[in-house]
Amino acid sequence: MIKRVRSWWKREEKIEPPERSIDNVPEHVAIIMDGNGRWAKRQGLPRIIGHQNGMKAVKRTTIAADKLGIKYLTLYAFSTENWKRPKDEVDFLMRLPQEFLAIELDELVEKNVQVRMMGDREGLPSHTVKAMEEAVRRTETNDGLVLNFALNYGSRKEITDCMRELGRKIEAGALNPEDITPEMLDRHMLSGGLPDPDLIIRTSGEMRVSNFMLWQMAYSEMWFTDIYWPDFNEHYLYEAVAEYSRRTRRYGGLT
């Protein structure tokens, strides 16, 4: 059982905005939170302790993103491939959203954060879905930071499901293939309604995208750090955002 702790939000109010203000803050930051297992192993601890500390980093990062003025924060919490892990670890990961929300949901409501979930509900344990749905329902009228959990999410599955849906519409005579546009595909993706990520962060030194937002990342800026996810904090987020703000995005054109 995960030890229940009091909300971190109040305790971490001390998180300060960067000394220099950043002009060009990305609207949507998406994070591949990697390295929980190695963080634990480095200290001779079981992997699940890494995930538990990863949950604390989720909290810190949410507060920091909010303070920086980021509008959308997407966190890759569980992929469609993560089911291959040992059952104990999967069970633990499936309890984390529930634990996190049991501690934090009141504060998230109060802080005007809107919680969303992007992924297949099918296959998730009912307790996980119930916790996520309650959080989505209780925060749906909030118009502050959007905290989007990618849970049981896989981009190839997302694209495949989108194709199936459009295929069914074509078969029913409700859609002309010529009328399919990138914007239409966008709306049919699980991320429908969110802008594409401006900045994608991956922790732990791995430099791959692991089936994450493949359609949506066409023009995302990437930022990698060797830091393991449980050690991630506002300083790394500021560093990533500051570097983003210095880059020039050309979208295939010229400046």
- Is residue 38 involved in binding ligand FPP (CB under 6 A)? yes
Rounded-to-integer distance, Cα 82 and Cα 90, Å: 8
Q: How far apart are CA 249 and CA 247, in angstroms?
A: 6
To the question of whether residue 155 is assigned a binding role by annotation, the answer is no
Is 34 one of the catalytic residues? yes
Residues in the chain, total:
255
Q: Where are the beta strands (DSSP E) in 114-165?
A: 114-118, 146-153
Q: Is 238 in the site for ligand FPP (CB under 6 A)?
A: no
82 is annotated as an active-site residue: yes
* 158: contact with ligand FPP by CB under 6 A: no
For residue 231, give the amino acid letter. D
Q: Which stretch binds ligand FPP (CB under 6 A): 7-15, 31-39, 120-128, 170-178?
A: 31-39
List, in sequence order, every residue forming a beta bridge with 134; answer none if it has no partner.
none
102-133 in b/e burial notation, b at 16+ Cβ within 10 A?
Answer: ebbbebbbebebbbbbbbbeeebeeebbebbe
Cβ(81)–Cβ(154) below 8 Å: yes
Residue with Cβ nearer ligand FPP (33 or 68): 33
Q: Is 236 in the site for ligand FPP (CB under 6 A)?
A: no
Decide if 113 contacts 9 (C-beta within 8 A). Answer: no
Q: Are 60 and 15 in contact (CB under 8 A)?
A: yes
Q: How far is the CB of 207 from ligand FPP (least distance, A)?
A: 13
- List 8, 72, 92, 100, residue binding ligand FPP (CB under 6 A): 100
Residue 83 is assigned to a ligand binding site: yes
Map the footprint of ligand FPP across residues 47-86, applying CB under 6 A.
51, 54-55, 58, 77, 82
* Choice among 53, 82, 148, 152 that is catalytic: 82
Q: How far apart are the first and last CA of the chain?
A: 54
The answer to the question of residue 33 lying near ligand FPP (CB under 6 A) is: yes
Beta carbon nearer to ligand FPP, 58 or 162: 58
Q: What SS3 class is residue 185? A: helix
Phi/psi at 126 (nearest 5 deg)? Answer: -60, -30
Measure the CA angle with vertex 144, ends 140 and 148; round to 5°: 65
Using the rule CB under 6 A, give the single segment among 93-101, 154-162, 187-195, 242-250 that binds ligand FPP.
Answer: 93-101
Any known ligand binding at 221? yes
- 4 is known to lie in a ligand binding site: no
Q: Which of 26, 37, 119, 197 binds ligand FPP (CB under 6 A)?
A: 37
| Residue 203 assigned ligand-binding role | no
List contacts with ligand FPP (CB under 6 A). Answer: 33-38, 51, 54-55, 58, 77, 82, 93, 96-97, 100, 149, 204, 229
Instruction: List, by residue number, the catalytic residues.
Output: 34, 82
Q: What residues are designated binding site? A: 34-39, 47, 51, 79-81, 83, 85, 202, 208-210, 221
